[in-house]
Structure 1
Amino acid sequence: MATSSQPRFQFRLRVYRDGGIAIGPGKIALLEAILQAGSITAAAQQMGMSYRRAWLLIDELNRALREPAVESAVGGARGGGTVVTEAGKELIRLYRGIEATAHAAAADDIAAMTRMLAD
């Protein structure tokens, strides 16, 4: 008898603006990866994407916000680097908070749907 894995419910919040995704799960995950890795290059590698793709996503995100989520410094005495700004950290916090609130609000319906799934 095969055992089935537990179902996983995931909310995928996207904020659209001017025909594109201003804020979405990929951009938030990239911000989190930059926080962890300390650079766009390392974050892109961690996520399996090109540096150019990561840079374009960050550029799109920064353009959509009043304050940048990420700031980069070119080389110099300290060698440059990338930092997630306070605005970027707040964006992550808000995004993940909305996901958690939605999940909690839907908990009864999620449980009911889970019971409908085959074993």
Structure 2
Amino acid sequence: MRPRIYLGDNLSIGPGKIELLKQINIMKSISGAARALSIPYKKAWSLIDVLNQGFGGQVIETSIGGKAGGSARLTPLGQKIIDSYEALEKKLNKSAKKELDAFYSLLNIS
């Protein structure tokens, strides 16, 4: 189960934004993360902006580069968002095992 959490009228956090943050952490690049997730660069920046505005702080830091290009990395806030989401996801999956198993059992119906 991959939850989407609504934290008000203008902010939600779910698998897409979490995967974007994870890919930025791996690739050290917003454009690289966008390519890895097959989303447009502009969409990736838009999702980051939503997180920045919603959480009231920067979730990534960027640096402008020369020939080698710039880079991006998670801020402590960005890492805390990933950690909190993954902890909640793990807890939800564990506590809802019986109900999730019931859904999976329905897949075996002919």
TM-score (structure 1 length as normaliser): 0.79
Structure 1 residue 25 and structure 2 residue 19: aligned? no
Letter in 2 for 1:32: K
Question: Which one of 88, 91, 108 corresponds to residue 81 of structure 2?
Answer: 91
Instruction: Give how far 1:86 is off.
Output: 1.2
Secondary structure at 2:3 match in 1:
coil
Q: Which residue is 2:4 aligned to?
A: 13
Q: Is the 8 A contact 1:13 1:99 kept in 2?
A: no
Task: Provide the rounded CA distance (Å) in 1 between the counterparts of 2:97 and 2:52.
Answer: 34
Instruction: Give how far 1:92 is off.
Output: 0.2
Instruction: Give how far 1:12 is off.
Output: 2.4
Task: Provide the rounded CA distance (Å) in 1 between the counterparts of 2:34 and 2:67.
Answer: 24
Q: Which residue is 1:102 aligned to?
A: 92
Task: Provide the rounded CA distance (Å) in 1 between the counterparts of 2:12 and 2:38.
Answer: 21
Bigger mean CA offset, 47-56 vs 109-118: 109-118
Query: Structure 1 segments of 4 or more deviating over 6 A?
Result: none
Q: Is the 8 A contact 1:12 1:25 kept in 2?
A: yes
- The structure where helix makes up a greater share of residues is 2
Structure 2, unaligned runs of 5 or more = none
What is the count of residue pairs matched by the alignment? 109
Largest Rg, 1 or 2:
1
Structure 1, unaligned runs of 5 or more = 1-9
Task: Provide the rounded CA distance (Å) in 2 between the counterparts of 1:45 and 1:113.
Answer: 33
Secondary structure at 1:17 match in 2:
coil
Q: Kindly report which structure 2 residues correspond to 1:53-72, keeping only aligned pairs within 5 A, or say none.
A: 53-72=43-62
Q: What is the CA RMSD across the aligned residues, in angstroms?
A: 2.1
TM-score (structure 2 length as normaliser): 0.84
Question: Which one of 93, 98, 102 corresponds to residue 112 of structure 1?
Answer: 102
